[in-house]
Structure 1
Amino acid sequence: MFAQPLVTSAAVAASVLFILSLGGLSNQESAKRAVWYGIAGMALAVVFTALGPGVSNYGLMLAMVLVGAVIGTVVARRVEMTQMPQLVAALHSFVGLAAVFVGLNAEMERLRVEGLRAAGESLDGLAAFAARLATKTPTEIAFLQVEVVLGVFIGAVTFTGSVVAFGKLAGKLDGKPAQLPGGHLLNAAAALACVVLAVYYLAFGGMLPLIAITVLALFIGYHLIMGIGGADMPVVVSMLNSYSGWAAAAIGFTLSNDLLIVTGALVGSSGAILSYIMCKAMNRAFVSVILGGFGGASGSQMAVEGEMIATTADEAAAALDDADSVVIVPGYGMAVAQAQSAVSELTRRLRAKGKEVRFAIHPVAGRLPGHMNVLLAEAKVPYDIVLEMDEINEDFSDTEVAIVIGSNDIVNPAAQDDPNSPIAGMPVLEVWKAGTVIVCKRGQGTGYSGIENPLFFKDNARMLYGDAKQSINELLTKIG
């Protein structure tokens, strides 16, 4: 068993490693090293916390760690990159549920200590957490109750919200916004009821108000995320990441665990910052997105005129042979088809012919922030030709061929042209300004958000129908 000073030192070291990990993840080249920083920090945190003072039941703890390690290994091996967004959402739900359980258990232990005191029984031999409760002043107990009610509320919202996000990302739930009659008023009424119950709990304590808050918060999390459209799911995932961090911080306060407080604050603040950045990239107010203000029709949308013109691999290859500048726009369809390696090979061959090839990445491409960057890095695409929207958008007018692979909303001109479009005002990649736009798409359906894309009907757009991987591989046979 380690002494408390050593545990505290380990917590500081782990916190530094977590900060280095977050900082490194902002750059593709340093991301792998950053992941190892995070792994080392978590290993340090787990070992020194488990072997710290006041911890017991090592047999049960070891069994749970082994079970969790086995499950985590199996899931990690089975989950494809296309399933990573829903996996992240599912993991957020575990943190939220843990916060609820810790909060309810803390209140049970508090009531137990009060009961023993009222009965005049000895408080000797209590478990570590109950023993700490026995030494707290009334003021400290009041602060503990505030921590408990916040942890339970945030944790419950995070749990059901993450479950719904998982369902929408996995296609098990409809991606369109859906709310019960009353809409936001139901959420507001439930939140107000939680405030009233929290005041009652802080005044009188007891399990019933906490359980009632849990039930209402579970409803809020469910109904809130159900009311958010599929186009906003990347923001929802980062928002739930923030919620899970604050839930973890609340657990840390309840358990008097400094490392958990620091880690939760890091996750909570970084998730909130990422959500803000993504909302800015979508030209949406953060509150509007979170309250379900985006993803559904906002009026009569402009009619789409023209027709989709199909093309063949031979015609697409001829256009690429004649072009000197090419921009590739990857989207979720590329991830689903696992076409990144074929795209990387196409890039290599075109560059070998002396053509300028670059990638344009929208901040919310895919269904998870950084999704496309990870796929391209996995396929060995050079980092220096992968550019963000702001870096490349002005270059489309000088681009001879733009290849759109499985993207829809992020290349939709309706964001600029149609004020009644659900994505009106959202910054998009202006691929339609290129000389020729080749769109790799399975069929003529709409994208994940269900919004029609006028790009596909423009005179300079050509639709290369079929599985993205097969389409690119067929292109490769035409390009030596």
Structure 2
Amino acid sequence: MNILVQLTYLISAVLFIVGIKKLNRTQEARQGNTLSSVAMLLAILATIVQVEALTLPEILICIVVGGAIGMFWARKVEMTQMPEMVAIFNGFGGAASFLVAMSDYWTRAVEQPDLSTDLVTLISILLSVLIGGLTFTGSLTAYGKLSGKVSGNAIVFSGQHLLNLILLIVTIICGVLIAMNTDSVVAMLVLAAIALILGVLVVIPIGGADMPVVISLLNSYSGMAACTTGFVLNNSVLIVTGALVGASGIILTQIMCKAMNRSLVSVLLGGFGATSGAASAAGGGSEMVIKEVGVEEAAMIFDSASSVIVVPGYGMAVAQAQHIVREMMDLLEKKGINVRFAIHPVAGRMPGHMNVLLAESNVPYDKLIEMEEINDDFSNTDVVLIVGANDVVNPAARTNPASPIFGMPILNADKARTVIVSKRSMAAGYAGIENELFGYDNCLMLFGDAKSTLTKMVGELKEM
């Protein structure tokens, strides 16, 4: 039986590796997700058989109940709420590691104090509690920011970094005390409490524009917590999969930071929200001359174009405009107009947010072009349609050294012959800074709800 369990673990680990690999390509992402789900099911079944914790009927009941809950939320959660759901999932992973490690420590320190505990297991328990607790409350805080229940701006206060440092030092002291005396229950409880507090303190100073980085970082934390819990439980598949998730999350975090021209340290020490006021003042927005375009005129501009690039942003998700954008693409292509989508790595509020939205509306995968591949094409493009994006097309990143996004790689939308921006109002984007593009000579503002205005524009195009 033990050989069968270990073989199942091996198959599960291989499926996880292949599944995560397939997530790297949009065309294979769904298949990768399915393989990873099967791997998780096999790992759960093998673990239950190994520890003999439940009977077969109880196992089936748990699978049915868990599957029903997952199916319910998968259908209930809207695409605009995907970032919040991802944050919650990261939190659940952290909470599981935290509780398992605390339970294992309680067993060793209180219920079975004679049970020998080697140093590797003890360190694994400490790391699981620390990383798991931090991930849990940090993810809940990220969920609050993304859902609007907590301010999306950077929340900072005097002495914040000093407080974090003091808590970290106390955590190390508690870890040393536990290592010297395994029965130090009070020290473990203090460490657990600090881990939960640190999760909140680490995330609240991060501004809204940095949330995609935070989501990927918390995802990495949840993987590392699972990996350390694998050492606690001596479970090989948990170690392998946790390491995979942790490593891939760190790699993704670095990619996101590079796309924003920011270091991970600068993201963790405070986001754009803390400097947005200075950025707005430096933008000189009061001197901009805004040119508005109507639905009919916009339709005429698109009808006379030969090439169009669509730049999607979080505003498209809020307006649920992805389906009408797809309809517009089909209509323009029937007229012989080349239509593509420019995807910025940090567009939206989680990694791959725009890809998910456009895939939902069945936009072909080959139409989704990454920033590095499409940026040089903007200067040869007739019309760029920006739907709800703001910071990722802001020329201030190239022209204004006083801007907090200066140096951040952006989509070169401003270099197109004509730029049409679908936006509700002149309000600043999630980074809280003004967009210089709106005052450019080649930029026209199409105000109103994106879904409503684009639906009217598509109606006009159909009559041309």
Q: Is contact 1:232–1:295 with CA below 8 Å preserved after alignment?
A: no
Q: Which residue of structure 2 lines up, in the alignment, with residue 251 of structure 1?
A: 229
Moved more, 203-212 or 53-62: 53-62
User: Quick one: which of 158, 174, 179 aligns to 2:135?
Assistant: 158
Q: Does 1:372 align with 2:354?
A: yes
Q: Does 1:301 align with 2:282?
A: yes
User: Quick one: which of 427, 432, 437 aligns to 1:445?
Assistant: 427
SS at match of 2:420: strand
Superposition pairs for residues 191-206 of structure 1, below 5 Å? 191-205=168-182, 206=184
Q: Does 1:421 align with 2:403?
A: yes
TM-score with structure 1 setting the length: 0.92
Cα distance, 1:386 vs. partner?
1.5
Distance, in Å, in 2 between the alignment partners of 1:75 and 1:218 is 26
Matched to 2:98, the amino acid is V
Q: Which residue of structure 2 lines up, in the alignment, with residue 44 of structure 1?
A: 42
Q: Is contact 1:360–1:388 with CA below 8 Å preserved after alignment?
A: yes
Runs of at least 5 residues in structure 1 that lack an aligned partner in the other structure: 118-133
Distance, in Å, in 2 between the alignment partners of 1:64 and 1:38 is 19
| Residues 353-394 of structure 1: per-residue CA shift (max 9 Å, x gap) | 111211110011111111111222222222222211111111
Question: What is the aligned-residue identity percentage?
Answer: 46
Q: Which residue of structure 1 lines up, in the alignment, with residue 11 of structure 2?
A: 13
Q: Which residue of structure 1 lines up, in the alignment, with residue 383 of structure 2?
A: 401
Change in CA separation of 1:216 and 1:43 when aligned onto 2, cut-off 3 Å: same
SS at match of 2:43: helix
Q: Does 1:392 align with 2:370?
A: no
Distance, in Å, in 1 between the alignment partners of 2:80 and 2:358 is 13
| Residues 111-139 of structure 1: per-residue CA shift (max 9 Å, x gap) | 23554x4xxxxxxxxxxxxxxxx4x4xxx
Distance, in Å, in 2 between the alignment partners of 1:433 and 1:252 is 51
TM-score with structure 2 setting the length: 0.95
Moved more, 279-288 or 149-158: 279-288
User: Quick one: which of 153, 160, 165 aligns to 1:188?
Assistant: 165
Superposition pairs for residues 205-244 of structure 1, below 5 Å? 205=182, 206-244=184-222
Q: Which residue of structure 2 lines up, in the alignment, with residue 121 of structure 1?
A: none
CA RMSD of aligned residues (A): 1.7
Q: Which residue of structure 1 lines up, in the alignment, with residue 29 of structure 2?
A: 31
SS at match of 2:283: coil
Matched to 1:238, the amino acid is S
| Residues 160-219 of structure 1: per-residue CA shift (max 9 Å, x gap) | 110110011111111110123212111111111111111111111222111111111212
Q: Which residue of structure 2 lines up, in the alignment, with residue 79 of structure 1?
A: 77
Distance, in Å, in 2 between the alignment partners of 1:293 and 1:348 is 39
Q: Which residue of structure 2 lines up, in the alignment, with residue 125 of structure 1?
A: none
Q: Does 1:346 align with 2:335?
A: no
Moved more, 437-446 or 177-186: 177-186
Cα distance, 1:400 vs. partner?
1.3
Give the number of equivalent residue pairs: 457
Q: Is contact 2:215–2:350 with CA below 8 Å preserved after alignment?
A: yes
User: Quick one: which of 122, 144, 154 aligns to 2:121?
Assistant: 144
Distance, in Å, in 1 between the alignment partners of 2:100 and 2:124 is 11
Matched to 1:202, the amino acid is A
